[in-house]
Amino acid sequence: MTEHQAAAPPEPATGGVIELLGLLAYASLVAFFRLADDASLATELSDKADLAEMAVAQFGHFQLLSGHISELGANPQQAMRPFVEPIDEFHARTAPSDWLEGLVKAYVGDGIAADFYRVIAELLDEQTRTIVLTVLADSGHSQFVITRVRGAIAADPAVAGRLALWARRLVGEALSQAQRVAAEREQLAALLAGGSAAQLGEIGRMFAALTDAHAQRMSALGLAD
Amino acid sequence: MTEHQAAAPPEPATGGVIELLGLLAYASLVAFFRLADDASLATELSDKADLAEMAVAQFGHFQLLSGHISELGANPQQAMRPFVEPIDEFHARTAPSDWLEGLVKAYVGDGIAADFYRVIAELLDEQTRTIVLTVLADSGHSQFVITRVRGAIAADPAVAGRLALWARRLVGEALSQAQRVAAEREQLAALLAGGSAAQLGEIGRMFAALTDAHAQRMSALGLAD
The pLDDT tens digits for B185-199 are 888 887 777 655 445
pLDDT at A141: 76
Give the whole-angstrom CA distance, residue A125 versus residue A110: 24
Give the whole-angstrom CA distance, residue B18 versus residue B191: 10
Contact criterion met (CB < 8 Å) for B37 and A39: no
* Nearest chain A residue (CA) to B39: A33
Q: What is the DSSP letter of B13?
A: P
A59 CA: distance to closest CA in chain B (Å):
8
Instruction: Give the model's confidence band at B201: pLDDT under 50 very low, under 70 low, under 90 confident, else very high.
Output: low
Per-position b or e across A176-209, b if 16+ CB within 10 A of its CB: ebbeebbeebeebbbbbbeeebeeeeebeebbee
Nearest to B19 by CA among B202, B187, B200: B187
pLDDT at B9: 40
Percent pLDDT > 90 in chain B is 40
User: Is the pLDDT reported for residue B13 higher than 80?
Assistant: no
Q: Is the ipTM of this complex over 0.85?
A: no
- State the best of B35, B54, B59 to mutate against chain A, taking most chain A CBs within 10 Å: B59
Q: pLDDT tens, B53-74? A: 999 999 999 999 999 999 999 9
Instruction: Say whether residue B49 is in contact with chain A using an 8 A CB cutoff.
Output: yes
User: Is the pLDDT reported for residue A12 higher than 70?
Assistant: no
Instruction: Give the model's confidence band at A199: pLDDT under 50 very low, under 70 low, under 90 confident, else very high.
Output: low
A202 CA: distance to closest CA in chain B (Å):
32
Give the whole-angstrom CA distance, residue A177 versus residue A22: 15
User: Is the pLDDT reported for residue A195 higher than 70?
Assistant: no
User: Is the pLDDT reported for residue B1 higher than 60?
Assistant: no
Instruction: Say whether residue A53 is in contact with chain B using an 8 A CB cutoff.
Output: yes
Percent pLDDT > 90 in chain A is 40
Contacts with B170 (C-beta within 8 Å, 6 or more apart), sequence order: B94, B104, B105, B108, B109
Instruction: Say whether residue B128 is in contact with chain A using an 8 A CB cutoff.
Output: no
Query: In this structure, are residues B171 and B211 in contact, taking their beta carbons and an 8 Å threshold?
Result: yes
Contact criterion met (CB < 8 Å) for A62 and B53: no
Contact criterion met (CB < 8 Å) for B52 and A46: no
Q: What is the DSSP letter of A171?
A: H
Percent pLDDT > 70 in chain A is 88
pLDDT at A39: 87
Contacts with B17 (C-beta within 8 Å, 6 or more apart), sequence order: B72, B124, B125, B128, B191
pTM of the model: 0.81
Contact criterion met (CB < 8 Å) for A37 and B39: no
pLDDT at B151: 93
